[in-house]
């Protein structure tokens, strides 16, 4: 089991550009959550997807959008990049049946906006 995988590992963009980050959940998991972690901060919840729909959203602007595919993998899109979007973006997967099982986090994508 490969666990949660994310791509790319690192990315450099300039202000105003758009970026797409990708996540494949752990085998058997159908729910994907995205978090943004700025340097020296704890992760902040962006949104959660299951059944190919956004089910919950944190306090992030509409520039942040996502998608979930039938195979449960997910993309995070950020438009009109700002310098403040520079962060580690973490994906976490979990089973929607819920219960006591924890979320599993991927290694993250480090985004630098210049």
Report yes or no: 26 and 4 within 8 Å, Cβ to Cβ: yes
Binding mask 55-84 for another protein (x = CB under 8 A): xx-x--------------------------
Report yes or no: 60 and 36 within 8 Å, Cβ to Cβ: yes
Report yes or no: 5 and 24 within 8 Å, Cβ to Cβ: yes
Compare residues 65 and 79 and give the one whose CB is closer to another protein.
Answer: 65
CA–CA distance, 75 with 42 (Å, rounded to integer): 21
Contact flag: residue 36 with another protein (CB under 8 A):
no
- Identify the residue among 24, 36, 48, 74 touching another protein (CB under 8 A): 48
- Identify the residue among 44, 65, 73, 86 touching another protein (CB under 8 A): 44
């Amino acid at each position: 089991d490969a666990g949660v995988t994310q791509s790319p590992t690192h990315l450099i963009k300039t202000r105003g550009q758009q970026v797409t980050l990708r996540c494949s959940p752990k085998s058997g998991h159908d729910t994907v959550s995205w978090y943004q972690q700025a340097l020296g901060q704890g992760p902040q919840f962006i949104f959660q997807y299951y059944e190919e729909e956004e089910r919950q959203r944190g306090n992030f602007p509409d520039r942040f959008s996502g998608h979930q595919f039938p195979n449960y993998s997910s993309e995070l899109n950020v438009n009109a990049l700002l310098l403040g979007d520079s962060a580690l973006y973490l994906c976490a997967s979990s089973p929607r049946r819920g219960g006591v099982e924890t979320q599993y986090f991927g290694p993250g994508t480090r985004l630098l906006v210049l």
